[in-house]
A and B are shown apart, each in its own frame.
Chain A
Amino acid sequence: MPTVAVPPQVPRVLRLTRTILLVVALALVLSACVTPALNAADYRDKALGSAEAATSEVGTAKLVCGLLLRERVLQSTADETLGASEDALGSISDSLLAVQPPRGADPIYLRLATQLDRAESAVRDARIAARRSDTDALVDLVGRMDTILADLAATEELLA
C-alpha cells in the first residue's frame, strides 16, 4: 500500500508569530515610504509637511544661535544640534524633490524648493559660524533665519 507523505504541521504559535512579524514588517514599510502625490491636494499636503518640518529645523538653529550668543549652551551640543538640523533639512529637501509635482503645482514647488535651499544654506552657515565662534556672523544669521521663518510661515498659510 502506497504511503502518502504528510507535510509536517507548523505549530500554531509559530504561525501566529510569523503572521505578527509579517504585519509588523508591512507596517514598517508602509509607514516609512515616501508615497507619490496622486493629485494637487496630496502634493499640497506633502509640501505643507515639508514647510512645517523646515520651520522646526530653522527654529532650532535660530534658538541655538541665540543660546551661543548668550553663552548658555555647550559648544559641542550647539555643534551637534546645528549639524543635525542641517542634515534634516537636506532630507526634507530630498524627500520633496523626489515627489513628482502634478500639473499646476509648479509655483508651490518652486517657492518651497527655493525656501528649503535658503534654509539649508543658513543653517550650514550657522554651523560654520558656531565652530569658529564668530559672533558677528551669528548675529547676522539670526536675522537671516527670522526672514526665512517668516517666508516659511507665509508658505504654510498658503498651503493650509
Chain B
Amino acid sequence: MKRGLAVALGILTAIGGFVDIGDIVTNAQVGSRFGLALVWVVVTGVAGICVFAEMSGRVAAVSGRATFDVVRERLGPRVGLMNLVASASITLLTFIAEIGGVALALQLATSINYFLWIPLVGFLVWVVLWRVKFVLLENVFGLMGLALIAFGVAVWQLGPDWGDLWEQAAQPGTPPGESAFTYWYYAVALLGAAMTPYEVFFFSSGGVEEKWKTRDIPVMRANVFVGFPLGGVLSISIAAAAAVVLLPMSIQADTLGQVALPVAVALGKIGLVVVLVGFFAATFGAACETGLSVGYSISQYFGWQWGKYVRPREAARFHLTILLGTILGVAVLLTTVDPIKVTEYSVVFSALALPLTYFPILVVANDRDYMGQHANSRTANALGTLFLFIIGVASLAAIPLMVVTKAGQ
C-alpha cells in the first residue's frame, strides 16, 4: 500500500514537473501557428527523454553515482568537460528563463511589473534551494504543476471539432502562410523543449540523493514511462488550446498572457486563476530544478561534495555555485532582456547541445563494467542510437534554421 502510494506520488510529480517555461511557450507558439501539425515532435521528444531518463536513472540506481561523475571517469576529463560546458550552459540559460517565467506569471496575477519580481523570485529560489528539503521541493511544485491540466479541461470545454484536430495531428504538414523552414525550426525547438538536458540530470542526481538501489528501478521506470508521457499530454493540451482559440483568430502566442487566454475563454476567471497557479508552480519548480542541476553538474564534474541531503556547510562549493548561478540569472534578466526570448533561444540551443549531453549517457549505460547485468539491453541500445541520430540531425539543423527563419519569424 505504502509502495503503491509512493509510485502514485512519483508519477503525479513527474507529470506536474514535466512541463516548464520552454514547454509552455513553445507548445503555445506552435499550436497558435501550426495547429497540431507538430504533435509528432512532442511524441518523439517525450519518447526520447523517456529512453535517456531511464538510462540515467538506472546508472544512478546501479552505481549509486550521478551522471557527470561517471561520464568524467568513463570518457575522460576532456569529453567530460565538453559534456559539462554544453549541458551546464544550456541549463543556466534555462534557469534564467524559468526565473523570468515565474516573474511573468506573478505579473499576470498582480499587475506588478515583472522587473520588480525578478530579484524577489531569485531570492526565493535561492532560499528554497538552501533550506527546503529535496522531497518537499519535488513533491509540492510537481503536484501544484498539475494545475496545468486546466488546459486539457479547457480544450474539452471548448468542444472543438475533434476530427479536425485528429486530422491536423495525423497528417502533419506546413499550413498555408508558413514556410517549410519555419515548420522545421519549430520542430527543432519543440524537440529541444521536450528533451531539455536538465530533466535527465535532475532526475538521476535526485536518484542519488534519494539513495536509489537496484530494487528501486521498477518504481523509477513507472515514473518515467507513465509520468513523463502524461506530462507530454499536458504539453499537447497547451498546443491544442492555442490551436482551437488562437489559430482561427491569427493570434500568435508570444507572451504568457496570450498563452493563458484560451483557458479564460473556456473556463473564465476560475480557470485562469488555476492556470496562473500552474504557471507559477511549473516555472518555480523548474527554476529550482535547473538551479540545482547547475550545481549538480559542476560539482559532480569537479568531484566536490554536493547534494541537498548533506548539510550546506559540508557542500559549500555546491551551494556557492547555485548562489552564483542565481545572482547571474537575476542580473541577466535585469538587463531588460525579454524572458520569452530567452526561453525561445534556450530551447533551440538545448537542441544544439543534446548529442553532447545524451551520447555519454548511452555509453555509460551500455558499459557492463559499471552496470553489470543492468547494462542496456539490445532494445535500449537500438532506441538510444535511434534517438541519438534524431537529435544529431536536429542539432546540426538548429543554427542554420535559426538564421534562415530569423528565429522563427
Contact = CB atoms under 8 A, between A and B. Distances in A.
B268 A77 contact: no
Interface residues of B, number: 40
A6 interface: no
Interface stretch (B134-142, B246-254, B374-382): B246-254
Given A31-B402, A31-B403, A81-B258, A76 B109 contact: yes
A6 to B, nearest CB: 21
Interface in B74-126: 78-79, 81-82, 85-86, 107-111
Interface in B250-269: 250-252, 254-255, 257-258, 260-261, 264-265, 268-269
A12 B403 CA distance: 27
B272 A74 contact: yes
B78 A63 contact: no
Given A67-B264, A71-B269, A73-B264, A81 B255 contact: yes
Given A12-B78, A72-B269, A73-B269, A28 B345 contact: yes
Given A13-B78, A32-B407, A77-B109, A55 B250 contact: yes
B273 A74 contact: yes
A148 to B, nearest CB: 13
A59 interface: yes
Interface stretch (A16-24, A113-121, A135-143): A16-24
A56 to B, nearest CB: 4
Contacts of B265: 63, 67, 72
Which 5 residue pairs across A and B have the least CB separation, nearest first? A81-B257, A76-B111, A72-B268, A31-B407, A56-B252
B352 interface: yes
B409 interface: yes
Contacts of A59: 249-251
A63 B409 CA distance: 23
Given A24-B399, A30-B403, A76-B108, A11 B269 contact: no
A73 B272 contact: yes
A155 interface: no
Among B251, B257, B258, B269: residue with most chain A CB under 10 A? B257
Contacts of B407: 31-32
Nearest to A11: B78
A27 B79 CA distance: 25
Interface of A: 11-13, 16-17, 20, 23-24, 27-28, 30-32, 49, 52-53, 55-56, 59-60, 62-64, 67, 71-77, 79-81, 84, 88, 160
B82 A77 contact: no
A73 B409 CA distance: 29
A13 B79 CA distance: 8
Contacts of A49: 409
A11 B110 CA distance: 51
A79 B345 contact: no
A60 B269 contact: no
Given A20-B86, A23-B399, A49-B409, 17 more contacts: A27-B402, A27-B403, A32-B407, A56-B254, A59-B249, A63-B245, A63-B261, A67-B264, A73-B268, A73-B269, A74-B109, A76-B110, A76-B111, A77-B108, A77-B257, A77-B264, A80-B111
Given A73-B272, A81-B258, A31 B78 contact: no
B215 interface: no
A28 B252 CA distance: 22
Contact of A72 (B78, B81, B264): B264
Contacts of A28: 345
Contacts of B249: 59, 62-63
Interface string B391-403: 0000000010011
Contacts of B78: 11-13
Given A13-B82, A72-B268, A76-B109, A56 B251 contact: yes
Given A64-B261, A72-B265, A79 B399 contact: no
B113 to A, nearest CB: 9
